[in-house]
C-alpha cells in the first residue's frame, strides 16, 4: 500500500505501510517452503509463485489462470498463504479455508499433529484471496490465514508484531501436507457452497 493509497485503513499523516503480516509473512513463508522443497527428494513438481494485484480484485492470479505457464489440467492443488504472521499467542487459532474443495483435505488435516494450534476450518473455495482464482478453475485449494488484527492495512502492521514461532508452525504444517501429497495421487475436486469466510481479510 506504499504510503497508504487506495485500500489503506489509516487516517493519519502519510506513512509507510510495511505490510509485515499482509503479506510479507506469506511471501517469506513461500520462500522458506521453496527452500525446503529444494532440500527434499520429492517426486512431485512444484510451481512457486507470488501474485500482485490481489487487493484490487485478484488481478495477478486471475491473469495467471487465463495465461498459465503449466496446463491447469496438470495442476493437482493450490496452497495459498495470505497473512500467516500473527497467530495469536494466547489463543493460537489457524484459519484454513477451502477444506471442502477436495474430500482428501479433511483426512490430511486431521492426521497432522501441530502442538498447541487449533484449526478453524471453512469449506468454501471462494474468498478474497488468490486461491479463489484456482478454485474457479476446478482445482482443490487451501488458504492459510492466522487471523485479523487492528493493524490490518495500517502503518502499524510492522515486523515487531510478527509471531515468528507461530508462523514457523504454519510453514512446517504446510510442508507436512506437501509430503503427504507426494504419492502422485490425484486429488478429487469438490464444488463448495461459495461464500466468503467471516474470518478472511476483506477487500477495501
pLDDT tens digit sequence for 149-160 = 999 999 999 999
Residue 200: pLDDT band by 50, 70, 90 thresholds?
A: low
CA-nearest of 194, 156, 25, 188 to 94 is 25
pLDDT tens digit sequence for 44-75 = 999 999 999 998 899 999 999 999 999 999 99
* Percentage with pLDDT > 90 across the chain: 82
According to the model, what pLDDT value does residue 203 have?
43
Residue 202 has pLDDT above 60, yes or no: no
pTM equals: 0.91
Amino acid at each position: 500500500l506504499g504510503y497508504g493509497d487506495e485500500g489503506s485503513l489509516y487516517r493519519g499523516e502519510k506513512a509507510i505501510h510495511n505490510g509485515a503480516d499482509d503479506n510479507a509473512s506469506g511471501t517469506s513463508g513461500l520462500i522458506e517452503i521453496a527452500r525446503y522443497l529444494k532440500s527434499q527428494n520429492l517426486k512431485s513438481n512444484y510451481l512457486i509463485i507470488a501474485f500482485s494485484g490481489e487487493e484490487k480484485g485478484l488481478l495477478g492470479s486471475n491473469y495467471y489462470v487465463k495465461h498459465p505457464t503449466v496446463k491447469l489440467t496438470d495442476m493437482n492443488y493450490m496452497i495459498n498463504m495470505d497473512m500467516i504472521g500473527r497467530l495469536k499467542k494466547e489463543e493460537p487459532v489457524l484459519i484454513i479455508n477451502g477444506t471442502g474443495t477436495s474430500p482428501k483435505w479433511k483426512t490430511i488435516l486431521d492426521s497432522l499433529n501441530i502442538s498447541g494450534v487449533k484449526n478453524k476450518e471453512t469449506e468454501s473455495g471462494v474468498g478474497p484471496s488468490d486461491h479463489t482464482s484456482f478454485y474457479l478453475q476446478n482445482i482443490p485449494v487451501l488458504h492459510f490465514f492466522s487471523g485479523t488484527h487492528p493493524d490490518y492495512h495500517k502503518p502499524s502492521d510492522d515486523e515487531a508484531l510478527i509471531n515468528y514461532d507461530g508462523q514457523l508452525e504454519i510453514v512446517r504444517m504446510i510442508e507436512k501436507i506437501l509430503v503427504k501429497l507426494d504419492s502422485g495421487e490425484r486429488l478429487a475436486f469438490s464444488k463448495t457452497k461459495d461464500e466468503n469466510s467471516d474470518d478472511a481479510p476483506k477487500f477495501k
